[in-house]
Amino acid sequence: MSIKKSIISMSLALSMVLLGISTSSESVIAASVKNIVKQGKNTSPKTMKTSKSKGEKKMPEKAVDGSIIIHTNNFAAAYGSNIYYTLSRVNLDDTKYNVIKRDMNTGKEVGIIENYATESMKVYGDYILCEETVGSAWLENTIYKIDKNMKRINLARGFSPVIVDNTIYYIAEKSNVDRGVKYLGLYKMNLNGNNKKLLKKGFYHDLGISGRNIYYYAKSAKTYNWFNLKTGKLEKNVVLSHLYDPISKTKVDYNVNNLKVAKYKNGKWSYKIIYKTKNTENGISKACVCGGKILLYVYNYLGKDKLFIMDINGKNIKLLHKGDAVG
């Protein structure tokens, strides 16, 4: 296994330890943040523009089966006729860029950021909100945005940013000489990274949104679930935005060996496998639905990672890039 895989495995293990809290803690957190988000009529940031073509016209709140769609940042995002994606911690063979914009109509690609550490992103109209992760012994996170002139602007140290009513909510952190990274809690700031304010000290859970509701991912009993930040309610019926296509109403799931899609019929999801790993491949590490396409990230024992793109039904699969994993 490559150095990259070991680092990611260790960071994930650390995250699971940090995220683990008891069910009683959830109610305490919920009571503390109950009034963070005021109710209103807007369902998305003012900067989110509608699109007549492929891409995200708005952030849908419910899937075809009635489950809540929770929107989180991921390694790919669609806006208008473009897909934006990042290959974190991979040196690509054919380009020096790791944040790339792809025209879905022509297939033309343009490099945006020369940075293999960008982990995730979300497109909001005329800017892209990104999260960068660097480090080996411990991982340090930075939230930044790419403006309409493709200029990078650092906003804060932290991770898991979400936007509601032109306000960025995120988990703040700072460097700690003795312990690596110290998580400061739930913060908010404006779109320019100013007016930072602490909302809940010691809070360090991944965030997501649906409409104007903020959700966080935490441990309940023996499993991890999504909770409503305001009410503390556990949401049992959810689907993540990067695994659901609202246009074709298709749900996506994957494990290390295969990728499958599902349609909802007669009250249940019916799955079929559309991609299986080959003998030379170690397995699937991540997948993301955007713009009516699926982007599939595959790694192998030799450290030669690959990114594929395919139609939502698994047809017209194409290798976009390959590269060497880096630590």
Q: What is the pLDDT of residue 44?
A: 35
Confidence of residue 148 (pLDDT cuts 50, 70, 90): confident
Q: What is the pLDDT of residue 8?
A: 39
Confidence of residue 138 (pLDDT cuts 50, 70, 90): low
Does residue 99 surpass a pLDDT of 90? no
SS (H, E, C) 28-71: HHHHHCCCCCCCCCCCCCCCCCCCCCCCCCCCCCECCCCCEEEE
Q: Which residues lie below 8 Å from residue 274, measured CB to CB, with a gap of 6+?
A: 259, 260, 261, 310, 313, 314
Q: What is the pLDDT of residue 215?
A: 97
Nearest one of 316, 219, 283 to 1, comparing CA atoms: 283
Percentage of residues in the chain with pLDDT exceeding 90? 53
Q: What is the pLDDT of residue 60?
A: 84
Q: What is the pLDDT of residue 280?
A: 67
Higher pLDDT, 265 or 115: 265
Whole-number mean pLDDT of the chain? Answer: 81
- pLDDT tens across 100-109, in order? 899 999 999 9
Q: Which of 44-48, 49-53, 81-85 has the highest mean pLDDT?
A: 81-85
Instruction: Give the three-state DSSP class for 106.
Output: coil
Nearest one of 216, 219, 242, 237 to 227, comparing CA atoms: 216
Percentage of residues in the chain with pLDDT exceeding 70? 79
CA distance linking residue 172 with residue 197, whole number of Å = 10
Q: What is the pLDDT of residue 326?
A: 62
Confidence of residue 179 (pLDDT cuts 50, 70, 90): low
Does residue 48 surpass a pLDDT of 70? no
Q: What is the pLDDT of residue 50?
A: 28
Confidence of residue 200 (pLDDT cuts 50, 70, 90): very high
Instruction: Give the three-state DSSP class for 14.
Output: helix
Q: What is the pLDDT of residue 302?
A: 74
Range with the poorest average pLDDT among 46-55, 97-106, 268-277, 301-310: 46-55
Listing DSSP states for 139-207 in one string gives: -EEEEEEE-TTS-EEEEEEEEEEEEETTEEEEEEEEEETTTEEEEEEEEEEETTS-S-EEEEET---EE
Confidence of residue 4 (pLDDT cuts 50, 70, 90): very low
Q: What is the pLDDT of residue 163?
A: 95
Sign of the dihedral defined by the CA atoms of residues 85, 89, 92, 98, in that order = positive
Does residue 9 surpass a pLDDT of 90? no
Order of strands across the sheet that contains 304-311: 90-92, 318-325, 304-311, 293-299, 283-290
R_g of the chain computed on alpha carbons: 19
What mean pLDDT is predicted for residues 59-70?
Answer: 93
What mean pLDDT is predicted for residues 253-276?
Answer: 95
Provide the residue count of the chain. 327
Q: Model pTM?
A: 0.79
Higher pLDDT, 56 or 48: 56
